[in-house]
Amino acid sequence: MSPTLALPPVPVGWFDEVEPAENFERQKRFTPFTATYNVSGQPAVNVPLHWNADGLPIGVMLAGRMGDEATLISLSAQLEQARPWRDRHPPLW
């Protein structure tokens, strides 16, 4: 279990408004926890278990054993049942 992102949700266009090198640096600062799973193929899931003061979701990333996506899907369903997020939307939806 880890945070999904290292920063609060950023404004739309935050990555596109800068030169490519700075764009890459921003990506690294924003998503340092997900790269390992993207590269390795180890299953991971993000679940929105908290919301910031602006009503934006804060994700928690859960990782599982190789080939065991079923456990993550089951756990995600249990978490959603315990703390529903389906009808939660940010103020600018």
Tens digits of per-residue pLDDT, 46-75?
999 998 888 888 899 999 999 999 999 999
Q: How many CB atoms lie within 10 A of CB 57?
A: 19
pLDDT grade for 17, boundaries at 50, 70 and 90: confident
- Cα gap 22→40, rounded to integer Å: 25
Q: What is the pLDDT of residue 9?
A: 81
